[in-house]
Amino acid sequence: MGEAVTRALVLDFGGVISKTLFETHALSEAALGLPPGTLQWRGPFDPAGDAPWRAMQAGEMTERDYWALRMRETGALLGESWTEFPQFVGRLRGADPAAVIRPEALAAIAAAKAVGHRLAILSNELDLFYGADFRRKLPFLADFDLIIDATYTGILKPDPRAFQLVTDGLGLPASACVFVDDQAKNLKGAEAVGMPWVHFDVTRPSESHAHALTLLSQGA
């Protein structure tokens, strides 16, 4: 029998590892002191009721533009003017970011590590959105071999160069990695470099993580 080929699970952060802000409105409203039901935007959970989300999905605005809009709207509810994403996310998420990490993600990360797979994060705005001190509050990030964050590289998914940073950093071919992202447009970059991918469904996180682990095992 030949020696097993090293493989890697490459995850987006927001939506894949962390619950989306759409899913945690109740927590956000409590953190901000807003009445329940104040925050109405639901993104992928109610596309028909979220016109800016539909515009973003159609390529009419960027993801950063979408969240800048929601940041301004939410700050205005409190009579405040927020200009930095970490201020926005920090206020909504409170002091315990671990509370909004998907348990399904932690299980998948542990399962991949247990059988010797490498772990990487490829994010467009990890520290931009969450703040540079955010990582220290999440001990499981120490399990990752590589974190590529466009906050610093300036290379946004789906640019194929972002995926090449991952393969170069891990020392693995694209075909030995499985990329997971909840934004369909980002998967085009993985496809361009020949990296298998999973379109993460935020409404079905268990199924999406299971699919990613299946792809990893099939390529082993």
Q: What is the pLDDT of residues 149-177, one digit of tens each?
A: 999 999 999 999 999 999 999 999 999 99
Does residue 1 fall inside a structural domain?
no
- Is residue 2 very low, low, confident or very high in pLDDT (cuts 50, 70, 90)? very low
User: Distance (Å, rounded) from C-alpha 14 to C-alpha 181?
Assistant: 9
- Is residue 4 very low, low, confident or very high in pLDDT (cuts 50, 70, 90)? low
How far CA 212 is from CA of 15, 109, 115, 204, in Å, comes to 15, 11, 14, 13
Per-residue pLDDT tens over the stretch 117-150 = 999 999 999 999 888 888 888 999 999 999 999 9
How many independent structural domains does the chain possess? 2
Residues 65 and 171 in one domain: no
Question: Which contiguous run of DSSP H or E holds residue 146?
Answer: strand 146-149
Residues 128 and 89 in one domain: no
Q: Residue 55: give the domain boundaries.
A: 25-97
Domain at 198, CATH number: 3.40.50.1000
pLDDT of the residue at 142: 94
C-beta of residue 179 within 8 angstroms of C-beta of residue 195: yes
Residues 38 and 80 in one domain: yes
| The one-letter amino acid at 201 | D
Per-residue tokens: 208: 């999406």
User: Distance (Å, rounded) from C-alpha 62 to C-alpha 24?
Assistant: 22
Residues 122 and 205 in one domain: yes
Residues 172 and 190 in one domain: yes
Residues 14 and 35 in one domain: no
Answer with the one of 62, 77, 97 that is the final residue of a domain: 97
How far CA 152 is from CA of 14, 16, 30, 162, 204, in Å, comes to 17, 21, 32, 12, 31
Residues 182 and 112 in one domain: yes
Answer with the one of 97, 114, 133 that is the final residue of a domain: 97
Residues 108 and 204 in one domain: yes
Answer with the one of 82, 97, 112 that is the final residue of a domain: 97
Q: Does residue 220 carry a pLDDT above 60?
A: no
pLDDT of the residue at 22: 96
